[in-house]
Structure 1
Amino acid sequence: MRRIVAALIVLSLAFTLLQLDYSKVEGGSYEYYISHWQEVNIPNLVTAILADWRAYDTLGEATLLFTAVIGFYLLLGGKKK
């Protein structure tokens, strides 16, 4: 049962990663922040980037690490009795 759950987690993560759009955006994030940094209501451009974009990036990294740890735990059989 645990292996099925782990396989479902791995497959859903792979499916999600394959659905992402990896095409290059014209202008990129630098031009976006230069022209729209006041929309996040933070007076400093550097702080706006750190508070807006990096927070989501860090949350994504933590979610990915947590998913990997739980997946390996389930694949290895969990807690031994």
Structure 2
Amino acid sequence: MKRIVGILIIISLALIFLQLDYSKVEGGSYEYYISHWQDVNIPNLVTAILADWRAYDSLGEATLLFTAVTGFYLLLGGKKK
């Protein structure tokens, strides 16, 4: 059962990654930050990036890491008795 759950998690992540748009955006993130940093109502550009955009990025990375570790743990059979 644990292996099935692990395999389902890995397949789900693979499907999510295959559906992402990896095309290059014209102008890149620098121009986006410069033109939209007032949207977060923080007077400093660096603080706006760290408080808003990087927070979402870090949350996504932590979620991905937790899911990957849990999936491999279940796939490998968990604790041996």
TM-score (structure 2 length as normaliser) = 0.92
> Which structure's relative contact order is higher, taking Cα pairs within 8 Å and 6+ residues apart?
2
CA distance in 2, matches of 1:27, 1:56: 21
Structure 1 unmatched ranges of 5 or more: none
CA distance in 2, matches of 1:29, 1:79: 43
Give the AA of the match of 2:22: Y
After the TM superposition, which segments of 4 or more aligned residues of structure 1 sit over 4 Å from their partners?
none
User: How many residues in Structure 1 have an aligned counterpart in Structure 2?
Assistant: 81
Give the AA of the match of 1:49: I
CA distance in 1, matches of 2:37, 2:63: 27
TM-score (structure 1 length as normaliser) = 0.92
| Structure 1 residues 1-80: aligned runs within 5 Å | 1-80=1-80
CA distance in 1, matches of 2:3, 2:36: 46
